[in-house]
Structure 1
């Protein structure tokens, strides 16, 4: 028989299971759409019963609710039965056939109506049936559409389902039996069945533990976290049930109260005494205090940022933490400015960083902060870490004795300023001593103070400090002067240098200072990176700005003065210096550093490009403004000393208190020697001269007027006309001139305080004008780039690169022997090749760098 079966028979037989499943889906679809109201009513009724709503409802109202739900259930059942219709096999086949392309099931059940006697027509029909049979074999059950949103626009079924879910989580099936008591009409729920009770245990939220329903728990031992809240409710006749507990210190006045709550604070007993009562032995789960410890050594960076790793843990979670720095006064070296008693300061408290995501039960983090500007920076302190959990328990680490981390200053002048700032913040009693030391430091600044702007700022700070000493040092003035000294120290350390060569020298000096004083690995990395950046800027400036002097190059080449090296050799040399420093071989690193400095100094480059040398008019204008700024500062200093002498008439003129002239003499120096027409000691500041007060003010006024005239002359020849920077410079100098006019008039009127204010305004305007003028000159230099390009083209034509090096060959440079330090050439070559291979395989390096390294390896 099987041999007579056709593809049509096989296809129809294969449709049996898809048809059954499709029909079952149709049953579920029609049942859902017909009976969803019934299911919703039943779920809501069961949820209300499990939650015990009937226990808090008057019996009559409860019976009415039961009747309403019963009628609703009957009505929804009738509604569903009337609308539910069992799907037939034909409907299922139609549904399945509609999901297939070409409706193959219908085609398989059809018969050939025309051409049954025609062989060709029969062949076509058989081919069509075979194709439909092939399609029918791939039939899959048609999906059922269970959506009833159109019939339930308010989503009442979801409300009922949510209520049932809440009941399953927080209710009890035991409450269902109380419905029978309501239906019996015995006069009450609990009273008909006897007394009953309910109880819950709610652990603190921070524990993350779930609530417990006492009715579902077996009697006996029960462990709960400390601080758990127990709630017990009694139903039935008052007094039939009582609560006895020894787990809380809370006193319950009435043990028979309907509702009782208590907080578990100790081990004890919880008992519900009476018919159907229960008893538990409550034991507290231990809540250990959190712990914290240092998890590594303190890391200090050269610019003051500290990084202290730590680890903390708790049995639940750490919610907060602090790091506290306290001054270790017993170990402070009480000399010089630290000899006096310090002013009271609160400990430094920093918040410990906590994980943003993940568990806080056990974690490691890193405290990062910059305490460089704090008065205790560099002094002995103790660091203690403290953490706290949600229950208020705290844990502390052992105190770490250390020097408060802060920025390290390598420039001697910057270190001196920072030290005096520390002494001033230590105690306001050090004000006079700090002013005296700073005046001594700035005595004869030529060749010692490299930054004129910082020098003038320091003079202003000294003047304000002396005024505070004379008239009373307030905490606000103390903080203001300390902030100014910090800014000045940063300028002395980092500089506001526009010249790349000066930045290179500064970086070399800082690194050399670190070699002498000893520096950490992090500081070495920072300083070496600073040196690399400064060297790169210097080399780029030379390549971009230099115009070669052919005759001078030729002459120096004949004298053997040419010193050439490649950028790769310079980079390898700096890597070797860092390696030696990290290994502690400071002497070798210092020698190598000295050799590199000589190489940089001997780099053959021409100077004063594009006529912008020291003798150019633009440069001369800038120098003239610097002289004007310096002279105005001298006048301001002298006017300030005269103001002090008004309050101390018995003191020698020019020497009030701790003040001296700039040259160090009593009333002598630049500020007190007049216009140069008086000898040493015979100036207007000399003691006993006739007409002291008024004559001095008139002389200062004349000098102020002369300085104003000089500034007016400089304004007429100021470069940069027509540019935004040049116009801003002229506007600033005009403001300075108006302030000078005001200072002159105040000096003639004898109003020294008003004159000082005008002079300070003039100083600030002069500084702003100099900054704007510098920007204008820099812009002019950038516009001269075409001439620079022509010079570079001429260098390339002569076979030299922009740095003046010979481009004729491709081999090593003339300095190769120096770079290798006369060592084992073969060994050094192997080391360099090994380092090149390591760097070329480092995926973190830029792609362009790794391509270059690979080309080097292919070449050598």
Structure 2
């Protein structure tokens, strides 16, 4: 075994494989260091290209820098190619060094003995040595390549270069190749054509539409525009008005992107839109934007080339619309209710009411100067500003819907004036829509107490023209001169005295005038409603605060606090209303059972529901319920006012009935005077004028007499059972009064009865017309003429008194009709008209309001008809009276 020869290492295939691996490891170590330099050159080139540096360089500099990169790259590639394969000895030495086995076993194994070493012992020793080397060779390993780059790059710049390349490629994305291609484009225009382009449309926020991406930079823009407007496949983009087109380009260099707008049908574009002067974009990034205001085509231009174009179809944003759906409704408290419909493409942002004074066409016209009041001298302070009223919008920012709004306008100086009213709506874009102007009379508060009405009258004088201040001052001084028994409330007297001192001791400026007008208003409210006015004001203020809190999204705690305050305010308001009205509601309940009522339980229930809605986030529904509650409260107040108005109308009807009795008695007295005159004078000479008056009196007196039942008269005048006067049927004129008071005494009693009636009317808060006072004077004259025996003059004065009574009754009837019309305008659901009859809007009448004539009414009609026939056959009566009676008979 010892004498067996060992194989030569060349014949050892395993060892040869190790030598080959070691040889390539040496090559890899050399190449790794040289390739890293080559990668660093390429990384710098790539980063500069992605950053768009080539576009920032001029053509010459561009070529020089590119040449330097090419030279460095070519030189280093040549240096890389100079790498040689190591020799066998170098590979063996590497294996021995990497393996760490001492005495270089592979080299020793390949050594040989000299030819002279033939000694057997020497051969034996050599063979043992080689055997040991062979065993060590099996333990040798070629090892992995170890370039030890840190010796040349201790700060690891190579890692930063790799990171820069990765980030640059991620940023450029698909445009990396285009950026690299820019390094080899030396023409300036060509470098701007092929670029990254991003474009998108942003609709206005109020439209609720998402942005629309037009170009995302993924397309190659070098060959053709990204989007061509003249392409057969190009479809117009439907874009809302005021959308913003944003175009952002990368790598444009000194040739910035611009937009060219071609309106539809235009032959020339609008001036180009450049990037904003104050914009500070990042290096190599240019952004330009424009707002879409019309249809057309928008082109993106760079260096005179169209890089993209888009056809635009603009969706116009129409102005909002608003219009009344019902006629304005007024309340006796001076509130105005407006019901309206609003609409807009994307929702209405706000709405309001605007008022303008109606110009007086007769102002300055000499032909109407006689009808105008005295012309005041001196400078006139400017008029008060019109009321500013905002309108509530439909819930949820709806694009269309109906809503209503209450506004207390009775306290404003413009209340009661004829104005032009316009509703105005505004959308988020600032567009304004208006309704047609209509002429209305602004509502004003109705006052029934004389002192309150007097103060309001003086307030109107100050509002009409502040130069009436001297007259107002004198009136207030007269009102407060003797307050005992007239003004018992110190909260009324003291403000009046303060107003007197304000007008007397200070210059009448706008602030002083406004303070005086407000003070007179609040004082009149105190006189009219007492503590109810303060409670009502407090309730309205809290309702306004709650509506504002719901609108602005206040916290739940604040909403609960305002709800509690509103409960307390309503409780106080209800108590004050009950104190003011007393048992009036119970008295009127039987007259109007259909009137809408609202109890404290209803209010509390609505408040609880409103609070729950607010806590659950349903703020719009809570606002709607608050508006409904305000509407119901207005109706409740209007119901109370209607009851008061009904009571006043009833008193006025009683006054008119008594006035009719006075007129009937005056008619009978005039007939007796006329017949006594006929007995003493020639009917042709003395009875012509009086006959005409009697005919007129007959026309006027019968209307007030028909329809009254027997027993209605309360005084000692003639019975209304006889439709013709104070004598029974068949009695001769004058015989019914035989042995009684003379005509003059009866005329005096009748005058006193009229005076008593006027006094009762004033005590009940009714204002008698001036015609009643004139009738009393005429009765006084007739009384004196009767005492003097001048029957002709007495008959004329009696006819005049009768005519004045008729005119006074007509004025009272017109006043009742106006009250009824005002009441109908204030509340569209009145259950009865001014005469106490059910309205047709309240449902079928079912015949309950139609009174079927009874036997007494039929008998009275027969008596009137028989008397007319009797008088028609009297040939001594004036022809005018006979013609009138004949027409009455033909009409029946």
**Class of the TM-score when normalised by the shorter of the 2 chains:** 0.3 to 0.5
TM-score between the two structures when normalised by the length of structure 2: 0.35
Rg comparison, structure with higher value:
2
